[in-house]
Amino acid sequence: MFDVIQSRLANLGISIPQIAMPVGSYVTTIRSGKQLFISGQLPLVSGKLLTTGKVGATVDIENAKKAAQICAINILAQAQAELGNLAKIKQVIKITAFVAADPTFTDIPQIANGASDLLVNVLGEAGKHTRSAVGVSVLPMDATVEIETVMEI
Amino acid sequence: MFDVIQSRLANLGISIPQIAMPVGSYVTTIRSGKQLFISGQLPLVSGKLLTTGKVGATVDIENAKKAAQICAINILAQAQAELGNLAKIKQVIKITAFVAADPTFTDIPQIANGASDLLVNVLGEAGKHTRSAVGVSVLPMDATVEIETVMEI
Amino acid sequence: MFDVIQSRLANLGISIPQIAMPVGSYVTTIRSGKQLFISGQLPLVSGKLLTTGKVGATVDIENAKKAAQICAINILAQAQAELGNLAKIKQVIKITAFVAADPTFTDIPQIANGASDLLVNVLGEAGKHTRSAVGVSVLPMDATVEIETVMEI
């Protein structure tokens, strides 16, 4: 199982980064029974946001979707740091994708799919999850996407 | 118990529809221990949104509240599809009601009550839940309401 | 443990108020196994909102942060009413901080820190939590902050 995930990551050209530090006075992960809660992940790459601004205004679909992918990679980084390896994820239970969006931009699902597809592509069946996706007015540091996660481990 | 719920549904004139298909690359329900997570439900009736647009702008209170009711009916549809029958819902634990709202429209609770009342009217004590209700800038496909749910089964 | 918390509350000059009543047809708390879910708490003081309006527009950072602190105090009030005393909180698992914000206001984390810091200052290690913080277009009754919580008890 571990090897399968590593090989998928390699095929996708993804390396799991260092975890992103919290941008406030909270912690990154908390276990509750068999559930792992992960703080809202931003599209941070080496501590810098991949995109800022609102999709439908200053950010286009392609870049917003990439931002969601980075959020998902950061979710995996948090899980790996907490669990030791990604094979210990039994199931991604739920993600809530908050997308900073102009009120006229309605294709929120396409942006969130950037994260959802990545989780399934890396974790297989264990990556399938329930989801809410909503357009919000603004995110921390003007990030374009933030994703909250609950997993079963 | 099953009969009670069926009779309430009949009295309310509600028939549980087919489940709404995901509008992105996620699944509709995931079980985690005794908890059932249900993806954000939209006010879809036979695959078509009952209302689009923002309450306080192009959607009035009455229609937004109806949209919330439809979300709740779709939540029940998901639960029934997963559990076989609604009597297996031990407790609706939490709903988060996302309401696409003009920033000047502040009566978000009245819209969310459309869903909350329906859950209690159908499920009785088991339908009582905690709730967050927030006004967001835009929802998938310009839906007026989206509701995320966690139940105990 | 109980005394430690009481003494921290005294040092901070905080007295736990009566619980805030729901502003809609939902309940304030639900237990699910070892988890306690608490409905979105608003910055209500004696039934009146401390602040209304959006941070970055009509509300400044200091007042929005105070609003988040009041939300956290109301979270503690709900937990105390449900559990008898705050020492029964094993861990605050997650908060989601919804901040009514002008789309140009990006320092959402600073507002949410008002709540996060208070929880840790009162509960110590048990107050540490995962967090999502997002800027939304409008909150119930034009509140500036609303915070949803899951705790382990």
Condensed to tens digits (0 to 9), the pLDDT of residues B72-96 reads: 999 999 999 999 999 999 999 999 9
Question: In the prediction, which pLDDT does B56 show?
Answer: 97
Question: Is A141–C91 a contact, with Cβ atoms under 8 angstroms apart?
Answer: no
Question: In the prediction, which pLDDT does C135 show?
Answer: 98
Provide the shortest C-alpha distance from residue A121 to chain B (in Å): 11
Confidence of residue B24 (pLDDT cuts 50, 70, 90): confident
Q: How many residues does chain A have?
A: 153
Place of tokens 């200053």: A58
Condensed to tens digits (0 to 9), the pLDDT of residues C93-115 reads: 999 999 999 999 999 999 999 99
Two tokens, residue B98: 């996302």
In A1-144 the beta strands, taken as DSSP E runs, fall at 29-32, 35-41, 44-45, 48-49, 91-100, 130-136
Provide the shortest C-alpha distance from residue A28 to chain C (in Å): 6
Contacts of A96 in chain B (CB under 8 A): 148
Reduced to 3 states, what is the DSSP secondary structure of residue B36? strand
Question: Is C130–A32 a contact, with Cβ atoms under 8 angstroms apart?
Answer: no
Provide the shortest C-alpha distance from residue B66 to chain A (in Å): 19
Condensed to tens digits (0 to 9), the pLDDT of residues A28-73 reads: 999 999 999 999 999 999 999 999 999 999 999 999 999 999 999 9
ipTM here: 0.96
Provide the shortest C-alpha distance from residue A88 to chain C (in Å): 20
Chain B contact partners (≥3 CB pairs within 8 A): A, C
Reduced to 3 states, what is the DSSP secondary structure of residue A146? strand
Contacts of B98 in chain A (CB under 8 A): 132, 134
Provide the shortest C-alpha distance from residue A114 to chain B (in Å): 9
Chain A contact partners (≥3 CB pairs within 8 A): B, C
Which residue, among B19, B27, B32, B38, would best test binding to A if mutated, counting the most A CBs under 10 Å from its CB? B32
Condensed to tens digits (0 to 9), the pLDDT of residues B36-76 reads: 999 999 999 999 999 999 999 999 999 999 999 999 999 99
What is the C-alpha to C-alpha distance for residues B84 and B78, in angstroms, rounded to an integer? 10
Confidence of residue A118 (pLDDT cuts 50, 70, 90): very high
Question: In the prediction, which pLDDT does B83 show?
Answer: 97
Question: Is C150–A38 a contact, with Cβ atoms under 8 angstroms apart?
Answer: no
pTM: predicted TM-score of the whole model, two decimal places: 0.97
Low-confidence ranges of chain C (pLDDT < 70): 1-2
User: In the B/C pair of chains, how many CB contacts fall below 8 A?
Assistant: 97
Confidence of residue B2 (pLDDT cuts 50, 70, 90): low
What is the C-alpha to C-alpha distance for residues C20 and C48, in angstroms, rounded to an integer? 10
Selecting from C26, C100, C148 the residue whose C-beta is nearest the C-beta of B116 gives C26
Residue of B nearest to A131 (CA): B39
- Residue type (1 letter), A98: F
A38 contacts: CB under 8 Å, gap ≥ 6 = A28, A29, A75, A78, A79, A148, A149, A150, A151, C130
Which residue, among B51, B95, B98, B137, would best test binding to A if mutated, counting the most A CBs under 10 Å from its CB? B137
Of A10, C105, B120, nearest in space to A2 by CA: A10
Condensed to tens digits (0 to 9), the pLDDT of residues A64-105 reads: 999 999 999 999 999 999 999 999 999 999 999 999 999 999
Q: What is the 3-state secondary structure (H, E, C) of A1-17?
A: CHHHHHHHHHHHCCCCC
- Residue type (1 letter), B70: I
Selecting from C93, C113, C135 the residue whose C-beta is nearest the C-beta of A24 gives C113
